[in-house]
Structures are given as C-alpha cells and as structure tokens.
Amino acid sequence: MSTAAIQERLRNIRLVAFDVDGVLTDGRFYLSSDGIESKAFCTQDGYGIRQLLAGGIEVAVVSGRRSGAVEQRMAELGVTHVILACSDKVSAFDDLITGLRIRESECAYVGDDIPDLDILQKVGYSIAVANAVGAVRAACDYTTSASGGNGAVREVCELVLNARRGDPS
C-alpha cells in the first residue's frame, strides 16, 4: 500500500481503541498479598491520549480484565469509553462503534496478543506494539517501534494526529 493510501486511512480515523495489558502497560501487574493490584502507565502515553481527545478523536480501552487502576487512569485522562472485564471483545467493540455511529473503517485498534486479533482484522487500521506476539504483528498494518507501556501509545497518537495535519512523519 502506498504512503498516500496509508495517510488517507489514518486521516479518516475517528476512534482509536487500545487493549490495556501489554499496550497501555508493559504487560505486568503487581498483586499484593491483600489482592490489591497496581499497574504502571507511561505519562507520555497519557499526553498522547489527551492530544487525541483534544483533536476530536474518540479514545476507548477494551480489556478482558477488570482493573481499578485502569478505571482511575482513564478517568484522569478523560477517556469515557472504558470496557473492562470483557469476555467478548468483538461484541463490546461493535456495540461501542454502533453507539458512536462510527464505521469500522474509521477505527484504529492497538493490540499485542491473540485475544486482540479479531478486532484488529476488522478495523480500518490495525496496530501492533513492538512487543506483540508474532501472529499479531503479522496481521497488522503497522507495528510501533516502542513497546507497550514504554511509549507505543504515544507513537500511535502522533501517527494519527500527524496524518490529520498532513504531516507524514
């Protein structure tokens, strides 16, 4: 696909959705003996998400796990489309885009593992983080140079925003 065609697909993105573990985080979580979970998030990724929102692009997270840390971080960033403890990511994603009146072709999704493949195969622009499993990287339109939890989300945000501005870098 030509650079111009890729830029056109990115320019039309109205929603960027992210998996959580391995994308917004490095895939690790800490669990205390009291059952309290914590995660580490990259502040630069957070800034990128805020820039997407400020640019009028919807942002969502879709995760199979429930996490108070994710709920809190997304609330801090102003992300209102937070789908957690989701056993059927595709159905939840379909419900989200139907409610937002956004077509699949106007969506980008960022994933790292096999449970993300079904969504990645239906969106307008599919993105794997650098630390994604091989099957995910092979199925995606783009693979970030940064790994999940270490700037991959910021890279995606800049990719979409630069396309909107007509800047191919």
Q: How far apart are CA 114 and CA 133, in angstroms?
A: 8
Whether the per-residue pLDDT at 168 is higher than 80: the answer is no
Judging by beta carbons within 10 Å of its beta carbon (0-12, 13-18, 19+), is residue 22 exposed, middle or buried? buried
Range of the domain at 44: 3-165
The neighbouring-strand residues paired with 12 are: none
CA distance 41 to 46: 8
CA distances (Å), 77 to each of 14, 97, 98, in order? 18, 20, 23
Q: 81 near 61, Cβ under 8 Å?
A: yes
Query: Residue 37 above 90 pLDDT?
Result: no
Number of structural domains in the chain: 1
> What is the model's pLDDT at position 36?
83
pLDDT score recorded for residue 95 = 96
Model pTM score: 0.93
Task: Estimate to the nearest angstrom the gap between the alpha carbon of 128 and the chain centroid.
Answer: 9
Query: What's the mean pLDDT in 11-23?
Result: 96
Looking at residue 49, which CATH number applies to its domain? 3.40.50.1000
Going by pLDDT thresholds of 50, 70 and 90, the confidence category of residue 77 is very high
In this structure, are residues 114 and 137 in contact, taking their beta carbons and an 8 Å threshold? no
